[in-house]
Structure 1
Amino acid sequence: MDRFAELQLFVQVAETGSLSRAADALDLSNAAASRHLHALEERLGARLVERNTRRLYLTDTGLEFLGRARNLLAELQDAEDAVNARTLKPTGTLRISASLSFSMHHIAPLLRAYTERYPQVSVHVETANRYLDIIDNNIDVAIRTREFEPDSNITVRRLAGTRRLLTASPRYLAKHGRPQTPEDLARNHQLLIYTYANNPYELRFTRDGVETTVQVKGLVESNDGQVLRAAALDGLGILILPTYIVYEDMVAGRLVPMLDEWDLPRLTVNLAYPSRKHLSAKVRTFIDFMAEHFVMLNYERKWTGHFGEN
């Protein structure tokens, strides 16, 4: 048990960069945490952690040992998860990573139903518009809009496809009119640009096998879709975001789609999670819960069809 506690403590120190935060995470006193770390270094005969007045950091030996320690703890977790999976009693903290927009529209509204169904699971939602490293950040499940992961240790499960649409508020359209062609966007309109999109200043449209590319600039630019959505609702410009963000606004008439006969490159909404022989019950139940929800609400059809067909 002491060796297990030492490994847990060391990994927490590495991930939090603080002995006190690691102690808090493991419900230890600072003194007990310091003893565990000292005992581990004494047993290994090596210095793993260096401290100065400003920060704590791992030595080269500590960095090498960190990977091995994580693997050992992961193997133990896999063994426990295999038992949990068989007993169907998900427990523990489920760590989810997703963009702020997806979290607000498609995770937060489901938390009540999921936690009521699985009351022994607590949920931590980490919002980030850049993709966090799943392994390094101890993420259980991440929502991604790319087809594959560069890390072969990550499994990807498709949830739904989604178009990217141009929408604007009735207020904006009353003042500026509707674009009639993709080229009108660059000449006569104000655009709201999501800077984390692939090639955000280049819009590649296709229609009936014909492709046209328009170079654009934004009146307002942001790395967060909710900032741009708020600006669009206020009549500031034309929004370019995935359907899963703006669908309810279109249904309510707050935003109006335009150039709908043209397609921008589509995205795929996926679940990404560490590839392990035994998925923990909390991860497996959340994956199944999300897939069930997407099918029930028919998101694939809603998000990939033309708006008049939904």
Structure 2
Amino acid sequence: MDKFTEMEVLISVAEQGSITRAAETLGQSVSAVSRYLSSLEERLGVRLINRTTRRFSITEEGELFYSYAKSILSEVHDAEALVGQVSSAPTGTLKITASTSFAMLHLMPIVPEFAQRHPKISIEITAHNRYHDIIESGVDLAIRTRRVEADSSITIRRLAQTRRRLVASPDYIAEMGTPHHPEELERHRMLVYLLADDPMRLDMRRGNSRFLVNVNPVMTTNEGQLLLRAARDGMGIIAQPSYIVQEDLDAGRLVRVLDDWDLPRLTINLAFPTRRHMPAKTRLFIEYLSAYFRRNEFERIWTS
């Protein structure tokens, strides 16, 4: 019998906990699955599955074989995928997740051209301001400012660093005046992003000086684009990453506040499932996005 099929059967039986469910998953008959399993046990000379009418369990030998078989089949599938990528244009759906602001400001400028260059790749963008499980959601690439990933099966690649800046509209500054020290922020109208670390306190540093500002907001939200709109309309001062506010600063719609003081900086990371061979669609988009960032010198601009 086919050794690869035997391994697939053993893996499915172990994971499904039932020969009947394994047969359904594999699209085989129960008798065929039983034959493959019996053939494998006979060839190896050991019992892999304990099965009675009332009880089903995998043996110690079965656990060992399951572990190796799963690794071997994963390698085979990766090899097939890699050869397929070399021999043909990349295809499939590329699933990306990012914050709403990042998706609007830094994905959409490049997605149309990327799609034109790679017409067999379709792109699915899910905008989230909270982090979702990459593996469970079937995500190929996540762009986020999370420092670490708890799941060891996720690889992180640095894209860029960015300052968080205090900014406000010229009209607001004309009305309320320019603060010259962090302690003056306590009398200013503050607009707060609720998903930031410790959102009701600003940890401001300049050289060896450090000042903690307790914020009493006039508005809070979980969406950076709403804060941006409120700041443009003169509602108050916001603390947001440069990658969100830079365009408005360049256009003069917003101005910097206390820019000689620094808030904790953020690192924008690319997170994706760890694989020996990265899918071509993911690799191509990462290379395209990274080149776009280098070409525009975003990190230099955002950290200056």
TM-score per shorter chain, which class? 0.7 to 0.9
1:129 Cα deviation from its structure 2 partner? 0.4
Instruction: Please state how far the C-alpha of 1:111 moved relative to its aligned partner.
Output: 0.8
Structure 2: which 5+ residue stretches go unaligned?
13-22, 35-55, 57-66
Q: Larger Cα Rg: Structure 1 or Structure 2?
A: 2
Distance 1:77 1:129, change over 3 A: farther
Post-superposition offset of 1:216: 0.8
TM-superposed deviation, 1:36: 5.9
1:140-159 equivalent positions in 2, closer than 5 A: 140-159=140-159
Deviation at 1:179, TM superposition (A): 1.4
Whole-Å Cα distance in 2 between the matches of residues 211 and 109 of structure 1? Answer: 38
The equivalent residue for 2:213 is 214
Q: CA RMSD in A?
A: 2.7
Inter-CA distance 204–73: structure 2 relative to 1 (3 Å threshold): farther
- Matched to 1:266, the amino acid is R
Report the equivalent of 2:107. 107
CA deviations over 1:44-90 (Å, ceiling 9, x no partner): 89xxxxxxxxxxxxxxx9xxxxxx9x999976753443124433621
Aligned residue for 1:25? none
* Deviations, residues 258-280 of structure 1 (Å, cap 9, x unaligned): 10000000000111000100011
**How many pairs does the alignment contain?**
251
Residues in 1 aligned to 2:192 and 2:28: alpha-carbon distance in whole angstroms:
51
Residue identity matched to 1:139 = V
Deviations 1:130-167 (A, max 9, x none): 11110000000000112321111111111110000000
Q: Are residues 250 and 78 of structure 1, via their aligned partners in 2, closer, same or farther at CA, if it must alter by over 3 Å?
A: same
Q: Corresponding residue for 1:255?
A: 254
Q: How does 1:88-127 map onto structure 2 within 5 Å?
A: 89-127=89-127
Superposed displacement of residue 108, structure 1: 1.1
Partner residue, 2:287: 288
| Moved beyond 3 Å, runs of 4+ | 35-45, 70-77
Residue 176 of structure 2: aligned partner: 176
What is the letter of the counterpart of residue 100 of structure 1? T
Amino acid at match of 2:151: D
Aligned-partner Cα distance in 1 for 2:191–2:162: 19
Q: Distance in 2 between matches of 1:132 and 1:118?
A: 27
Q: Write the distance in 1 (CA, Å) between the matches of 2:173 and 2:29.
A: 67
Amino acid at match of 1:158: R
Deviation by residue 1:155-199 (Cα, 9 ceiling, x = unmatched): 11111100000001112112111111111111x111110111011
Q: Distance between the aligned counterparts of 2:259 and 2:216, measured in 1?
A: 20
TM-score, normalisation: structure 1:
0.74
Supply the distance in 2 between the matched residues of 1:173 and 1:230 (Cα, whole angstroms).
Answer: 16
Cα deviation digits, residues 232-269 of structure 1 (max 9, x gap): 11111101110000000000001101100000000001
Preserved contact between residue 85 and residue 278 of structure 1 (Cα < 8 Å)? no
| AA of the residue aligned to 2:221 | S
Q: Distance in 1 between matches of 2:282 and 2:157?
A: 13
> Sequence identity of aligned pairs in percent?
45
For 2:136 and 2:216, the matched residues in 1 are separated by 35
Partners of 1:162 and 1:237 lie apart in 2 by: 22
Structure 1 residues 71 and 248, CA gap change in structure 2 (3 angstroms):
farther
Larger displacement relative to structure 2 (176-185 or 86-95):
86-95
d(CA) in 1 for partners of 2:29, 2:221: 46
Q: Structure 2 vs 1, CA of residues 76 and 227 (structure 1 numbering), >3 Å: closer, same or farther? A: farther
Distance 2:279 2:26 in 1: 32
Q: Which letter maps to 1:183?
A: E
Change (3 A) 1:136 1:75: farther
Give matches, 1:1-310, under 5 Å. Answer: 78-87=78-87, 89-186=89-186, 188-305=187-304
**CA deviation vs aligned residue, 1:28-52 (integer Å, no higher than 9, x gap):** xxxxxxx96696796889xxxxxxx
Structure-2 change in CA distance of 1:245 and 1:77 (3 Å): farther
Gaps of 5+ in 1: 11-34, 46-60, 62-67, 306-310
